[in-house]
């Protein structure tokens, strides 16, 4: 069975607790439950982690080489400036899909650029939590 890791970055543990107009009312726990249900339907395994710490996210990306067939990552604000996370993604030979809950292009200018996108398979933005399900579906059905 294919195994996928879902990594959520800084502040995403606050989902559903503030800024519902941007991020919705569902919590990180709700997201993880949705992913587990989708994984059962897709006949894959999914493991979710969230961290507010850059190094922990990097360690998780590295570990995924031995533990997973692909990564779904929402790096939070690290998206816009973490060359360390970008290099970690580039260092693993796994398909990586970047997801953003909000449409970053409709928001502040600093959110328009992702330093990680060039080393990912693809990016999904602005579709809320459904973006993670689409990413999981793409990885589950993909050839890699």
Q: Closer to ligand CA2 by CB, 64 or 102: give it.
A: 102
Question: What is the Cα–Cα distance from 140 to 77, expressed in whole angstroms?
Answer: 27
Question: What is the Cα–Cα distance from 37 to 32, expressed in whole angstroms?
Answer: 9
Phi, psi of 16 (to 5 degrees): 80, -10
Does position 101 interact with ligand CA2 (CB under 6 A)? The reply is yes
Q: Closer to ligand CA2 by CB, 24 or 87: give it.
A: 24
DSSP 44: -
**Binding residues for ligand CA2, total number by CB under 6 A:** 17
Does position 53 interact with ligand CA2 (CB under 6 A)? The reply is no
Does position 84 interact with ligand CA2 (CB under 6 A)? The reply is no
Query: For residue 71, which of 46, 91, 102, 53 has the smallest C-alpha distance?
Result: 46
CB of 66 to ligand CA2, least distance (A): 27
Does position 12 interact with ligand CA2 (CB under 6 A)? The reply is yes
Per-state percent for the chain, helix, strand, coil, to nearest 5: 50, 20, 35
Does position 50 interact with ligand CA2 (CB under 6 A)? The reply is no
Question: What is the Cα–Cα distance from 2 to 42, expressed in whole angstroms?
Answer: 10
Identify whether 25 is a catalytic site residue.
Answer: no
Give the distance from CA 130 to its chain's centroid. Answer: 12
Binding ligand CA2 (rule: CB under 6 A), the pick from 19, 41, 59, 67 is: 19
Identify whether 62 is a catalytic site residue.
Answer: no
| CA count, 13 A, side-chain hemisphere, 10 | 12
Annotated binding site: 74, 80, 87, 101-102, 111
- Site for ligand CA2, rule CB under 6 A: 11-12, 14-15, 17-19, 23, 74, 76-77, 79, 100-102, 104, 111
Annotated binding site for substrate: 74, 80, 87, 101-102, 111
């Amino acid at each position: 069975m294919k195994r996928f890791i879902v990594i959520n970055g800084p502040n995403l543990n606050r989902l559903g607790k503030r800024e519902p107009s941007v991020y919705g009312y569902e919590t990180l726990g709700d997201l993880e439950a949705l992913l587990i249900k989708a994984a059962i339907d897709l006949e894959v395994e999914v493991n979710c982690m969230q961290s507010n710490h850059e190094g922990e996210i990097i360690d998780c990306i590295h570990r995924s080489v031995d533990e997973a067939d692909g990564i779904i990552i929402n790096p939070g604000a690290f998206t816009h400036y973490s060359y360390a996370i970008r290099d970690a993604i580039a260092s693993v030979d796994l398909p990586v899909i970047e997801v953003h809950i909000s449409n970053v292009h409709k928001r502040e200018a600093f959110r328009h650029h992702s330093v990680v996108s060039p080393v990912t398979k693809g990016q999904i933005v602005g579709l809320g939590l459904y973006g993670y399900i689409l990413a999981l579906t793409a990885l589950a059905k993909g050839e890699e």
